[in-house]
Amino acid sequence: MAAFTKEEYEQRIERTKAAMNERGIDLLFISQPANMNYLTGYDGWSFYVHQCVLVSLDQKEPMWLGRGMDANGARITTYLPDDCIRQYADDYVQSTVKHPMHFIADVIKEKGWDKKRIGVEMDQFYFTHRNYVELEKSLPDATFVDANTLVNWVRIIKSEAELEFMRAAGKVAIKVMDAAVANINVGSRECDAAAAIAAAQYSGTEEYAGDYPAIVPLMMAGEATKTPHLTWSGKRYTADEAVLLELSGVYKHYHAPIARTIFLGKNPPKLMQDTARTVIDGLKATLDFIKPGVTGEEVEAEWRRAISHSTVVKEARLGYSIGLNYPPDWGEQTISLRPGDKTVVKPNMALHLIPGIWYDDVGFEVDASIRITETGYESLYEYPVEIFLK
């Protein structure tokens, strides 16, 4: 059963077709799992094999095409009629003599779309170079164009139903961070803390079942706090070390990321305290600035203005858009809060602001996952913004 009403999916398809029209695209080939889910409801751990959703201006409903054993998953999780679900035989999987793109090309020919302008997601995780080569060879009369983030930009304004899912993810996020704070202690193993965090992510709350996150728990301790994307080990936590956490609550693949910092001691180094104070104050000033009508680069500029009195420098982007996603990333690949991003912030966009600092001498993370309102922002969760001392 699809997560949203058929009417909502139909509205998403209409907005997608409008974007296709604007770019002169007749047929859209969707390979990104989140975009497939957004347009049809399809939800399965099958993105390790080739699959796609086709959206044609000539046909009302999109089509799902994938491995035979996953076709019933499409029947269960999507709103699509059976004639819009096509499956290829298992001997296409990891074959050296045939390729699933040959099957997909045959369906495109059958539908009379083989001479159309076809948009493909050229820079997505699950669309390979081989995919493109085989499609080109199999459809010599088609014109291929890059439609890499076309659906991502359609997704950027959230519906009320989507926002309810994100608020539910926010409730799960609180439980997830509570589990982290409770289980990270001097002498405990990193892997045991990770297990407790994962349990909280999956179990969710009494009202909302949790889901697997698009990014595994990021948990940097001690020397690892100089970098943002490490996970856990069997190491035991030691006294007077910092632990940086970037986690998420998830509900039906909608994310509410949450990042905080723990210090295993009562007296963090002065540099850490000063950095935390600057970052927290800067984040608050930036949140106070956010409202519809400002641009992504103006939000980032306000952050830099707010911390300009300090020695803190953040070279990476300040944040990005969030919502529905699958591994390996919960970002939407649209807005990036950094110089040059002139995207205008609008109501019902969802943003993750994460002014993380990863220096050789100090690390500190805190964040805010928010929805843009008519006048400012709404937090997806309320959680103390501070260093947690243990």
Determine the Cα–Cα distance for residues 244 and 225; give it in Å rounded to an integer. Answer: 6
Q: Which residues partner with 143 through β-bridges?
A: 117
Contact between 381 and 173 (Cβ < 8 Å): yes
Contact between 64 and 84 (Cβ < 8 Å): yes
**Whether residue 269 has a cis bond before it, omega within 30° of 0:** no
Contact between 335 and 351 (Cβ < 8 Å): yes
Determine the Cα–Cα distance for residues 296 and 36; give it in Å rounded to an integer. Answer: 27
- pLDDT, average across residues 27-46: 98
Q: How large is the angle between the packed helices 190-203 and 160-183, nearest 10 degrees?
A: 150
- pLDDT, average across residues 360-377: 97
| Digit-coded pLDDT (tens) for 301-345 | 999 999 999 999 999 999 999 999 999 999 999 999 999 999 999
Per-residue confidence (pLDDT) for residue 243, from 0 to 100: 98
Main-chain phi, psi angles of 205, to 5 degrees: -120, 175
Separation of first and last alpha carbons in the chain: 45
Determine the Cα–Cα distance for residues 170 and 380; give it in Å rounded to an integer. Answer: 5
Q: Which residues partner with 372 through β-bridges?
A: 377
| Digit-coded pLDDT (tens) for 55-110 | 999 999 999 999 999 999 999 999 999 999 999 999 999 999 999 999 999 999 99
- pLDDT, average across residues 100-129: 98
- pLDDT, average across residues 11-28: 98
Fold of 160-389: Creatine Amidinohydrolase (3.90.230)
Per-residue confidence (pLDDT) for residue 202, from 0 to 100: 98
- pLDDT, average across residues 146-161: 98
Determine the Cα–Cα distance for residues 155 and 15; give it in Å rounded to an integer. Answer: 9
Instruction: Answer yes or no: is pLDDT of 221 > 90.
Output: yes
- pLDDT, average across residues 227-233: 97
Question: Residue 286's pLDDT band (boundaries 50, 70, 90)?
Answer: very high
- pLDDT, average across residues 277-306: 98
Per-residue confidence (pLDDT) for residue 1, from 0 to 100: 84
| Digit-coded pLDDT (tens) for 158-206 | 999 999 999 999 999 999 999 999 999 999 999 999 999 999 999 999 9
DSSP-derived pairing of the beta strands 377-379 and 27-30: unpaired
Per-residue confidence (pLDDT) for residue 172, from 0 to 100: 98
Count of beta carbons in the 10 Å neighbourhood of residue 242: 23
- pLDDT, average across residues 224-230: 96
Per-residue confidence (pLDDT) for residue 249, from 0 to 100: 98
Domain boundaries, the chain: 6-154, 160-389
Determine the Cα–Cα distance for residues 206 and 66; give it in Å rounded to an integer. Answer: 35
Tokens of 84: 């819009």
C-alpha count within 13 angstroms, C-beta hemisphere, residue 170: 22
Q: In 3D, which of 108, 70, 104 has the Cα closest to residue 90?
A: 70
Q: In 3D, which of 51, 114, 126, 57 has the Cα closest to residue 85?
A: 51
Full-model pTM: 0.97
Share of residues in the chain with pLDDT > 70 (%): 100
Q: Helices then strands (H, E): number in the chain? A: 10, 17
Average pLDDT, the chain: 97
- pLDDT, average across residues 337-358: 98
Tokens of 387: 């260093």
Give 195's DSSP letter: H
- pLDDT, average across residues 228-257: 98
| Digit-coded pLDDT (tens) for 245-271 | 999 999 999 999 999 999 999 999 999
Per-residue confidence (pLDDT) for residue 81, from 0 to 100: 97
- pLDDT, average across residues 234-252: 98
- Name the CATH code of domain 6-154 (choices 3.40.350.10, 3.40.640.10, 3.30.1130.10, 3.40.50.2000): 3.40.350.10
Per-residue confidence (pLDDT) for residue 120, from 0 to 100: 98
Determine the Cα–Cα distance for residues 38 and 154; give it in Å rounded to an integer. Answer: 10
Q: How large is the angle between the packed helices 296-306 and 270-289, nearest 10 degrees?
A: 140
Tokens of 112: 């009379």
